[in-house]
Amino acid sequence: MAALTPISRKPMSVVLPAVAIAGGFLGMFVGAGQGSVLLGILIGAALMAGLAWVYMNVLDNESVARWITILGLGGLGLLFAGVTGLIVGLLAGWFFAFFIFWLYEGRYRQKLLPYMTGQQVFWHYTFRVICGAIFVFLITPILVVLPLSFNAQDFFTFTPEMLRLDPEGYSLKHYRDFFTNNEWQRSFKNSLIIAPIATFISVSLGTLAAIGLSQSHVPGRRAIMGILISPMIVPLIISATGMFFFYSDIGRFLEGTLGMDKNFVGYVKVILAHAVLGIPFVIITVTATLVGFDQSLTRAAANMGAGPVRTFFKIQMPLILPGVISGGLFAFITSFDEVVVVLFVGSASQKTLPWQMFTGLREQISPTILAVATILVVISIALLTTVELLRRRSERLRGLSPA
Amino acid sequence: MTDATQSGPMLAADGTPLKKSLARSLRRRKLRALALIAPLLLFVLLSFVIPIMSMLFRSVENSIVADTLPLTVVELRNWDADSGELPDEALYAAFTKDMITAIDEKTHTRLGSRLNYEQTGMSSMFRRSGRQIKKLDPETDGPFKDKLIEIHDGWGDVETWRTIKTHAVPITNGYFLNAIDMRRTPEGAQAQPEDKQILIKLFGRTLMMSLIITASCILLAYPVSYLLATLPMRVSNLLMILVLLPFWTSLLVRTSAWKVMLQQQGVINETLVWLGLVADDARLVIINNQFGTIIAMTHILLPFMILPMYSVMQTIPDSYTRAAKSMGATNWTTFWRIYFPQSIPGIGAGSILVFILAIGYYITPEIVGGTKGVFISNRIAYHISSSLNWGLAAALGTILLAVVLLLYWCYDKIVGIDNVKLG
């Protein structure tokens, strides 16, 4: 954005206190590391305010000032806390170099409307800081798990070696444990069996039903929609309770009367239960895609002699494919991430990955869980990217490019 | 061929009246749509709706007493429970006969544990007496009254028979009464003894904590959604990743992350101790209590609040607030009188969604809630897997389901279920 407001230099009385407060905040952390928080705050505030004063009155050259700050703070960090300190120091230096001149030159007003009062400008940035804090709250738990999964110790906290970025403090042993431990491997395999089959069932049935639902004259559409969406509405614990009673009866019937294999029946029960849970997601995404589908295309195909099946696979399917795939991904993640129902319906030989994690968290807590968590985060990032790309593609196809 | 001058109904190409032909084609289209829906509908009905129905039925079903002790139940009808006297010999004989059959089929212990929910001690009484009653011969060994009382004092207690008589009905409201801290007695519904009254409190706590979680979600989601809705699309799409990533991350990953953060030796406590804000021997207890549940669930449900709020705020035109400001409104007036009222639908949609999700949560309270931060769903799971009081679990589930459906009905009225959006 071009500059909205002409900017002017700000007086010392504005810049110095602000820089001093920020410096004190940084000093608090450094001071805590060295043993005295209060001293840290005072030194930090004085140092930063002093630097700002020198830059503004003596040096007056921004790029030189920037390098002095970055390298100076980096050096201090290296002196106090090794490699970690160096990194923190460099980052802090970069921030302060930016912050001092941002305030001094009045750049903070550059992109704001010219008639805003000082109070409004202050509130504008306070609001952004608050939002930033909320974003930090959202993302921190996930970010904390990632490095901890490389912990060389069996702890759930950062060891001093890890904080020093010492390679000794890091290892892949929890990952090794995950890939060699039979129990984890079996549960992982179970998840990989159950989730795709359940997804396949919910996607194939769900897509057909969504096509039926999107046609113009469906008697009782609201009631049908209500029933099909209900697995998403009913709390999982209630679905699980209901399925627990029902599927144990079914299981007894299949094993006792039809003489099926116990293990096989267990898988069938869990897969059916998960397929039902995934259906609402498929229905919602596919009907949403079909809203933008031009029905005259199917009529044109029929006009040219294509049968309903051929029309479906050649005309309709390619166009609604993004919706079907993202619905399928939702169904997959629902099954892959599901604990409550499998806990109630399945037996020990159907133990899935989330179930294993759940028992791990409740009973014998082991850091392997964090390694699994990291793998799952990576999987969800991959899925998120896919869904986002598909959504964009589908919007482009329908001519709804994002504004 | 239709002649233009010909009177009568308009005909289609094959000679049938056009009206009829159109009706037939409409009927065919309806049938085809239904045929497409039918497999899924059947599937959902069979594997989801019927299980839920069977749960509803199980919350009132109580045929176990009448099935296990058929003769006794008939005899009990003639006995006046309020007389304060023990039943006569005929009933004891019938009971012995029933018990011998039940012991053969090994159902007497199940009946014992069923009755144990109502009167403690019943389970062991049935189990212990079972071994000795087995040795009796129903034809020759009578009279049974004194023998049974000799085997176990309980059979000489009027209360035992009163309990059996009260719970002999095939359809009972007993489980529902239990679910609201009352019990079925011969004198009608009565409150449970003080020390057993936990479920109403648990329902209250579930509602209270769900409300607190919803409120904190509103507080945190509002600024973020506002920021996302007002920033340029390119920036807000990038920031949206920070919202969507937790949304897509496995629930267990987030719960375990919170367990790692909140522990006594966890990341938060370590940092606070390091900063000197908290003494090493006075670490904060922020896990295994209500605080742990609230903070973890607020984090987990926050995206469900942000997404609907964001989509509503996106539709509020910027020109309204500018117009208000140009007419002299202060910032606060502009926000409170112009922007906020227009964003209320988003708050409503998000709140109901978060509240519904929170009220039925199981995993997170189980892991970070300890004993004080658990919800009613944890109690249901406890009754299913540990205490095996399935009737009570079904009754609790039915009440929870009723609350959730009521809320969803409101959600449908306010937002419309069709407007649910994902991702």
The alpha-carbon gap from B151 to the nearest alpha carbon of chain A, in Å, equals 36
Q: Are residues B363 and B252 in contact, defined by beta-carbon separation less than 8 angstroms? A: yes
Cα A370 versus chain centre, distance: 16
| Cα A339 from Cα A347, distance rounded (Å) | 12
Q: Is the pLDDT higher at A267 or at A322?
A: A267
Q: What integer pLDDT is reported at residue A3 of this predicted model?
A: 59
Q: Select the CATH number that applies to the domain covering A181-397 from these four: 3.40.50.880, 1.10.3720.10, 1.10.287.70, 3.90.550.10.
A: 1.10.3720.10
Whether residue A292 has pLDDT greater than 90: no
Q: How confident is the model at residue A253 (pLDDT cuts 50, 70, 90)?
A: confident
Of B32, B49, B275, the CB nearest to A37: B275
Domain coordinates in residue numbering, chain A: 12-115, 149-180, 181-397
| Cα B306 from Cα B225, distance rounded (Å) | 6
Of B58, B263, B359, the CB nearest to A156: B263
- List pLDDT tens digits, range A85-133: 888 889 988 998 888 888 888 888 878 878 778 888 888 999 999 999 9
Q: Are residues B261 and B267 in contact, defined by beta-carbon separation less than 8 angstroms? A: yes
| Cα B255 from Cα B250, distance rounded (Å) | 9
Q: What share of chain A is helix, strand, coil (3-state, %, to 5)?
A: 80, 0, 20
Sign of the torsion formed by the C-alpha atoms of B326, B332, B334 and B335: positive
Pair of tokens at residue A265 = 């029946």
| B366 contacts on A by Cβ (under 8 Å) | 362
Cis ω before B143 (30° cut-off from 0): yes
For tokens 């009260």, the residue is B166
Pair of tokens at residue A82 = 């090794």
* Contact check, Cβ <8 Å, A279/B276: no
- List pLDDT tens digits, range A316-371: 888 888 889 888 988 998 899 899 999 999 888 889 999 999 988 887 677 888 89
Q: What integer pLDDT is reported at residue B5 of this predicted model?
A: 53
Q: Are residues A327 and A116 in contact, defined by beta-carbon separation less than 8 angstroms? A: no
- List pLDDT tens digits, range B42-63: 999 999 999 999 999 999 988 8
Q: Are residues A179 and A172 in contact, defined by beta-carbon separation less than 8 angstroms? A: no
Whether residue A42 has pLDDT greater than 70: yes
Question: Closest residue of A to B378, CA-based?
Answer: A237
| A367 contacts on B by Cβ (under 8 Å) | none
| B48 contacts on A by Cβ (under 8 Å) | 230-231, 239, 242-243, 276
List CB contacts of B353: < 8 A, sequence separation 6 or more: B304, B305, B308, B411
List CB contacts of A272: < 8 A, sequence separation 6 or more: A198, A201, A247, B47
| A361 contacts on B by Cβ (under 8 Å) | 252, 255-256, 259, 367
Interface mutation target, options A238, A295, A298, chain B, most CBs of B under 10 Å = A238
Averaged pLDDT, A152-166: 78
Of B245, B266, B397, the CB nearest to A157: B266
Q: What integer pLDDT is reported at residue A398 of this predicted model?
A: 64
Question: In the structure, how many helices (H) and strands (E) does chain A have?
Answer: 16, 0
Beta-bridge partners for A170: A151
Cβ neighbours of A287 (radius 10 Å): 21
| Cα A49 from Cα B144, distance rounded (Å) | 98
- List pLDDT tens digits, range B68-103: 888 888 888 888 877 777 888 888 888 888 888 888
* Contact check, Cβ <8 Å, A205/B43: yes
Query: Does the CB of B219 have a partner CB in chain A at under 8 Å?
Result: no
The alpha-carbon gap from A217 to the nearest alpha carbon of chain B, in Å, equals 6
* Contact check, Cβ <8 Å, B50/A288: no
- Per DSSP bridges, beta strands B182-185 and B188-191 are antiparallel
- List pLDDT tens digits, range A227-240: 898 898 889 999 99
Q: What integer pLDDT is reported at residue B417 of this predicted model?
A: 59
Interface mutation target, options A137, A153, A241, A352, chain B, most CBs of B under 10 Å = A241
Q: What integer pLDDT is reported at residue B2 of this predicted model?
A: 47
End-to-end CA distance of chain B: 56
Of B34, B366, B405, the CB nearest to A362: B366
Instruction: Compute the radius of gyration of chain A from its Cα atoms.
Output: 30
Q: What integer pLDDT is reported at residue A403 of this predicted model?
A: 33
Residues of chain B with pLDDT under 70: 1-7, 415-423
The alpha-carbon gap from A66 to the nearest alpha carbon of chain B, in Å, equals 27
* Contact check, Cβ <8 Å, A358/B423: no
Q: Are residues B213 and B351 in contact, defined by beta-carbon separation less than 8 angstroms? A: no
Cβ neighbours of B25 (radius 10 Å): 11
Q: What integer pLDDT is reported at residue B116 of this predicted model?
A: 85
Residue ranges and CATH numbers for the domains of chain B are: 1-58 (no CATH), 64-196 (no CATH), 199-419 (1.10.3720.10)
For tokens 């987990």, the residue is B300
Per DSSP, the three-state class of B254 is: helix
For the residues of B164-210, what is the DSSP string, one character each? Answer: HHHTT-SB-SHHHHHHTTEEEETTEEEEPPGGG--HHHHHHHHHHHH
Q: Are residues B173 and B399 in contact, defined by beta-carbon separation less than 8 angstroms? A: no
